[in-house]
Amino acid sequence: MGGVMKARHLFFVVLLPAVASAQARATLRAPRVTGDTVGAACSAARAAVDIQAWFVALTAGDTTALRRLATPALIVFSAGRNGLPERFARAGDVDQLLHYAAERHRAGDRWTLLEVRYLRVHGRILGFMPITRRDSRDPRATKGLWLGKAEYECGRGVRVLNLAPWPLNVPPYEPPE
């Protein structure tokens, strides 16, 4: 009996990373990258990978990865909009961001980055608009399309990430062909 238990335990330990990896791959579909980055001091594609890593860490509740991604550059993170059933969230430092991420992970938030739309470049600073889809088990959470205004600093990471539900007065999101 002890050998069977050990074998089952070993099977679980070996299989778990493969299952987790398959789940991560499902959420790691590369976002569409659009906009003009002429004059950028770094690769827009590399920046998009770092930006996507933020949303993957938020979804997974991976505070270790989020700390690594946010520590060099974070100035501000915000999510939501006043007047919605869900409270507006703002983080001015990494610890506040990690608290938000853990809280929203427990609520079942899932973020999918659909597009990174670069809007302006100032040397090492790439301004971009993230377009995302949010799902959640939380009945107060605003689900569906979200957009934002944000900045990425070459070699340091995302420094500003402000997210809000898709405004009613903005035409629906249509991904470019």
pLDDT, tens only, 106-120: 999 999 999 999 999
Higher confidence at residue 11 or residue 61? 61
Domain spans of the chain, in order of start: 1-30, 31-165
pLDDT in tens, 63-108: 999 999 999 999 999 999 877 888 899 999 999 999 999 999 999 9
Whole-number Å distance between alpha carbons of 151 and 75 = 10
pLDDT tier, 28 (very low <50, low <70, confident <90, very high otherwise) = low
Instruction: Provide the H-helix boundaries in the chain.
Output: 2-27, 44-60, 63-70, 94-106
pLDDT at residue 174 in the model: 86
Higher confidence at residue 30 or residue 65? 65
pLDDT at residue 175 in the model: 76
Q: Which residues contact 10 (CB under 8 A, 6 or more apart)?
A: none
Q: What is the mean pLDDT of residues 19-31?
A: 54
Residue 1, pLDDT > 60, answer no
Structure tokens at 159: 């420094």
φ and ψ of 69, to 5 deg: -70, -35
Instruction: State the CATH class of domain 31-165.
Output: alpha beta
Q: Is residue 85 within 8 Å of 140, Cβ to Cβ? A: yes
Indicate the helix (H) or strand (E) that contains 115. strand 110-122
Q: Which residue shows structure tokens 């470019």?
A: 176
Which has the closest alpha carbon to 127: 147, 148, 159, 151? 151
Instruction: Provide the H-helix boundaries in 30-158.
Output: 44-60, 63-70, 94-106
pLDDT tier, 2 (very low <50, low <70, confident <90, very high otherwise) = low
Structure tokens at 31: 């976002």
Which has the closest alpha carbon to 142: 91, 61, 87, 90? 87
Say what the pTM is. 0.81
